[in-house]
């Protein structure tokens, strides 16, 4: 087997493979021998059919089978010998299979681009030192309190007030015509939250249960729902039911209900302070790592493989679809245009792909690999986070072919942690080496 590689572009290659004529002849002969053992042609016993007749009856099938087998066996070897790792399914160009002639075929495929990196160890980055105030703890405590509140019906004849939860039925109209998919018979609005639109929510204040109102709303051009953005909309809306949130008292008993091990409210506050600090520490580390990647990527020009970019966009859209589905919605109902989403998501997808390529190249250069222990730990962590058993979770990934993508994510995480460990981390607000160097030079000059 002979191979030759042609670079078609920064992210595409053409791999040409030639298989010698004697190997082609051997495969053709072997194929006819196998067929001849079982071929049933009138006047001949199996195994006694002349080659000429076998060629007449089975020639096309033999040629197709030999071609398929030769490509299936030689292509993986050719990729390995040429050190090529395709990112997408290759486009094959196949030559004819003939006795006495070599078989030539080629494969055009998208590949990872070559990357020239600058320095990536010892990069100077700034990192925030997280702090937690008493106000932060009180705010988190109030969030927990609201999460444990219970909706209660309001007193009879009491009108809608700020903070109430109004269950409504509505239909939206533009110039007297109903907007498709902009209606509901059982929709809950928290008055004053701004989740729907402040003007509509204000328009419901003072309404009685069972009352119907017409409310006009001028939606902003950048309103999140595409069916309403930039439109003048009239709502016919009726209050079906009205509730208020009854909040539990913040006392020792409340703390014990959340966690029997909590002795009192102060113990709960101490625990919350610790949790908030841990959250902020993780957040500041994420931000520092993003800063680190940004610095490493500066000046690194990479031709991005479009198959990776498109896959990243498709993954983001699919995740959004699943999130909406869990809440009983869809892209259409939420007013999202898939085409617009693709355009909006492209810059972030390109950034993710670039970072992924950089991390993968650093891992290659510094011999960073995902071990069996890394993979086992990842499944333990996934099982713990999702409340599932490890082995069924592992089988789920194996059956769906998700192991390789998991390994890639683990490789990137491991490489980023490695870079972070070797970074020169400066506390935010502390003079950097660059600033110290500048100050030193100024003193010398003076």
Task: With respect to residue 342, please indicate whether it lies within any of the assigned structural domains.
Answer: no
Q: Does 222 lie in the same domain as 75?
A: no
Residues 128, 102 share a domain: no
Q: How confident is the model at residue 436 (pLDDT cuts 50, 70, 90)?
A: low
Hey, what's the torsion of the CAs at 290, 292, 296, 302, to 10 degrees? -10
Whether 14 is covered by a domain: the verdict is yes
Residues 220, 90 share a domain: no
Which regions of 207-277 does DSSP assign to beta strands (E)? 212-218, 232-246
Considering the domain architecture, whether residues 267 and 129 belong to the same structural domain is answered as yes
Q: Give domain status of residue 328, yes or no.
A: no
316 assigned to some structural domain: no
Q: Is residue 343 part of a domain?
A: no
Clarify whether residues 6 and 99 are in a common domain.
yes
Whether 310 is covered by a domain: the verdict is no
Distance CA 137, CA 269 (A): 6
Helix (H) or strand (E) holding 138: helix 134-147
191 and 68 co-located in one domain: no
Q: Is the pLDDT of residue 432 over 60?
A: no
Q: Over 80: is that where the pLDDT of 430 sits?
A: no
Q: Can you give the residue range of the structural domain that contains 434?
A: 368-446
CB 317 within 8 A of CB 341: yes
Question: Is the confidence at residue 105, as pLDDT, over 80?
Answer: yes
The pLDDT value recorded for residue 437 is 52
| Tokens 């110039």 sit on residue | 175
Average pLDDT value for residue range 80-102: 91
| 142 found inside a domain | yes
Strand 424-427, strand 124-127: pairing: parallel
CATH number of the domain within which 88 lies: 3.30.70.1050
CATH of the domain at 232: 3.10.50.40
Average pLDDT in the chain = 90
Q: Are strands 91-94 and 2-9 parallel, antiparallel or unpaired?
A: unpaired
Give the model's pLDDT for residue 428: 76
| Segment 320-376, tens digit of pLDDT | 988 888 877 788 877 788 898 999 999 999 999 999 999 999 999 999 999 999 999
Q: Angle at Cα 378 formed by Cα 377 and Cα 383, nearest 5°?
A: 95
Q: What does the pLDDT look like over 282-321, one tens digit per residue?
A: 999 999 999 999 999 998 999 999 999 999 999 999 999 8
Q: Are 103 and 28 in contact (CB under 8 A)?
A: no
Do residue 48 and residue 133 come from a single domain?
no
The per-residue DSSP string of 395-426 comes to HHHHHTT-HHHHHHHHHHHHHHHHHHHTSEEE
Select from 110, 133, 162 the last residue of a domain. 110
For a pLDDT cut of 70, what percent of the chain falls above it? 96
The two beta strands, 165-174 and 212-218, are unpaired
259 and 237 assigned to the same domain: no
Q: How many domains does the chain have?
A: 4
User: pLDDT value at position 49?
Assistant: 74
Would you state the structure tokens that stand for residue 42, as one six-digit string?
């009138």
The pair phi, psi for residue 249, each rounded to 5°, is -75, 145
The answer to whether 141 touches 276, Cβ cutoff 8 Å, is no
Clarify whether residues 143 and 255 are in a common domain. yes
Cβ(3)–Cβ(17) below 8 Å? yes
Q: Which of 213, 246, 279 is the last residue of a domain?
A: 246
17, 93 Cβ separation under 8 angstroms: no
């Amino acid at each position: 087997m002979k191979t030759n590689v042609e670079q078609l572009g920064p992210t595409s290659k053409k791999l040409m493979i030639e298989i010698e004529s004697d190997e082609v002849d051997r495969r053709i002969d072997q194929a006819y021998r196998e067929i001849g053992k079982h071929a049933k042609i009138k006047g001949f016993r199996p195994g006694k059919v002349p080659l000429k007749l076998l060629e007449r009856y089975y020639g096309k099938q033999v040629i197709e089978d030999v071609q398929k087998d030769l490509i299936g066996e030689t292509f993986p070897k050719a990729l390995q010998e040429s050190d090529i790792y395709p990112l997408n399914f290759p486009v094959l160009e196949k030559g004819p299979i003939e006795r006495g002639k070599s078989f030539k075929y080629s494969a055009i495929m998208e590949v990872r681009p070559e990357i020239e990196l600058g320095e990536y160890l010892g990069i100077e980055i700034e990192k925030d030192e997280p702090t937690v105030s008493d106000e932060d703890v009180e705010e988190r405590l109030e969030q927990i309190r609201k999460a444990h509140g219970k909706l209660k019906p309001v007193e009879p004849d009491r009108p809608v007030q700020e903070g109430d939860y109004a269950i409504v039925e509505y239909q939206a109209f533009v110039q007297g015509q109903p907007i498709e998919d902009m209606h509901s018979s059982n929709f809950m609005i928290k008055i004053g939250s701004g989740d729907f639109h402040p003007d509509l929510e204000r328009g419901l204040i003072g309404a009685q249960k069972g009352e119907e109102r017409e409310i006009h709303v001028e939606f902003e051009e950048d309103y999140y729902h595409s069916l309403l953005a930039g439109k003048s909309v009239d709502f016919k809306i009726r209050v079906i039911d009205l509730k208020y949130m009854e909040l539990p008292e913040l006392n020792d008993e409340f703390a014990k209900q959340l966690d029997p091990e909590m002795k009192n409210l102060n113990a709960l506050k101490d625990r919350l302070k610790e949790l908030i600090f841990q959250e902020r520490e993780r957040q500041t580390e994420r931000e520092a790592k993003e800063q680190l990647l940004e610095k490493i990527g500066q000046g690194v020009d990479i031709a991005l493989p479009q198959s990776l970019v498109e896959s990243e966009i498709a993954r983001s859209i699919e995740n959004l679809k699943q999130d909406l589905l869990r809440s009983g919605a869809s892209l259409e109902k939420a007013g999202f245009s898939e085409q617009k989403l693709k355009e909006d998501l492209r810059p972030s997808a390109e950034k993710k792909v670039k970072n992924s390529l950089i991390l993968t190249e650093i891992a290659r250069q510094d011999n960073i690999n995902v071990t069996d222990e890394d993979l086992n730990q990842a499944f333990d962590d996934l099982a713990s986070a999702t409340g599932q058993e490890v082995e069924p979770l592992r089988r789920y990934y194996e059956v769906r072919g998700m192991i390789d993508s998991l390994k890639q994510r683990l490789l990137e995480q491991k490489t980023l942690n490695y870079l972070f460990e070797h970074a020169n981390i400066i506390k935010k607000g502390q003079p950097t080496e660059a600033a110290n160097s500048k100050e030193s030079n100024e003193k010398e000059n003076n």
